[in-house]
Amino acid sequence: MAHLSDDNDLFKQTCKWVHGPLIVGAGPSGLAVGACLKERGVPFVILERSDCIASLWQKRTYDRLKLHLPKQFCQLPKLPFPDDFPEYPSKKQFVDYLESYAKIFELNPQFNETVRSARHDETAGMWRVRTVEVEYICHWLVVATGENAESVVPEVEGLEEFGGRIIHACDYRSGEAYRGKQVLVVGCGNSGMEVCLDLCHHKAFPTMVVRDSVHVLPREVLGKPMFELAVSLMKWLPIWLTDRILLALSWMILGDIKEDGLKRPSEGPLQLKNTQGKTPVLDIGALEKIRSGAIKVVPGIKRFSHGRVELVDGRVVYVDSVILATGYRSNVLSWLQGSDFFSKDGFPKEPFPNGWKGKSGLYAVGFTRRGLSGVSLDAVRIAEDIGRVWKEETKQAKHIIACHRRCSSHI
């Protein structure tokens, strides 16, 4: 997205008044806010830059992806997952769920509408939101573009000299195209681990670059989801003690991951998630492949050259392709102007649970670093807040109309 370079562009645009809030983004966050507003009788408009809902899920994720958390922690407000869905729904099942969600609540996003700028007009007391052809005027603006709007591509010396195929994980679909190839996967988060696992399943030979420390936890403990256990423990115990219990269980089940070239951070997994937004890896088989040698683990990269990579420890690895599992970032600062609500990293300055509401009718959903459960919490709060004002304004408008009619009848 880019800002308007010339105010004269405004004269080429159609102006539209939005009767209710304008929601930017038709991913799970935008859909959840829309459904909650719908239930309260508040009209709204959803703008989406892509040609479909949940474009990150539909167009920028790998085929084998499943929800990392149990489905009860991932459902959106007002609609549970179907009973016949597995505990960890697949990518297709989740997209089907979102399509049904949009249809049931009649959300009807406007597709191929890229927001170029949004600014609050202090004089008029309105938000002015510009796309390529339209300027929308509204009382409330809901930022629902989320934490993962843009892929992060790191600057690495010599990358342009490599000569082989280089893609970000958002463009990876399956390992079929890499069969028999030596593949360097840069990044050891959930995406990096699962891409490596998928490459193994397709007879490729992945090498995973582990630059930083990482928490790896078992997805389940004695048949119970690790996340569900963590949620239960945090109801009674402080986060530091919950972290210690989770790490003790992880050590009992997974053993010492340091021997596998993986170093744990000094902060516990839940504390690290709260303070830095770093999600622990929930192991679904990659650790076994590392221990068998099917996935090789190497330290950071010093530089690339043609067909090879030099590591920080001096070793040289020859590879055919590179997959950058280097994460995503918020893009809100590229189009939201004149607001100090978001910090330089594109997240609200106020930490959870207070980062959903700004000034002058500005709201944010999906920036809690708490996944889909955080999305639902934000969506409910935003709809309640806007709905309360909407109800009062509607009541006042009806009263004025009624008074006008009574006065007219006496003339």
β-bridge partners, 402: none
Q: Which residues of the chain have pLDDT under 50?
A: 1-6, 10-11, 399-401, 404
What was the pLDDT predicted at 192? Answer: 95
What was the pLDDT predicted at 217? Answer: 95
What was the pLDDT predicted at 252? Answer: 94
Whether omega before 353 lies within 30 degrees of 0, making that bond cis, reads yes
What was the pLDDT predicted at 169? Answer: 96
What was the pLDDT predicted at 352? Answer: 83
Please answer whether residues 141 and 127 qualify as being in contact, where contact means their C-beta atoms are separated by less than 8 angstroms.
yes
Dihedral (CA of 406, 407, 410, 411) sign: negative
As given in the structure block, the two tokens for residue 143 are 């930022």
Selection from 369, 327, 334, 328 nearest residue 348 by Cα = 369
What was the pLDDT predicted at 405? Answer: 53
As given in the structure block, the two tokens for residue 127 are 């938000």
Q: DSSP assignment, residue 49?
A: S
Strands, E assignment, 96-193: 117-121, 126-130, 134-138, 141-143, 150-151, 165-168, 182-186
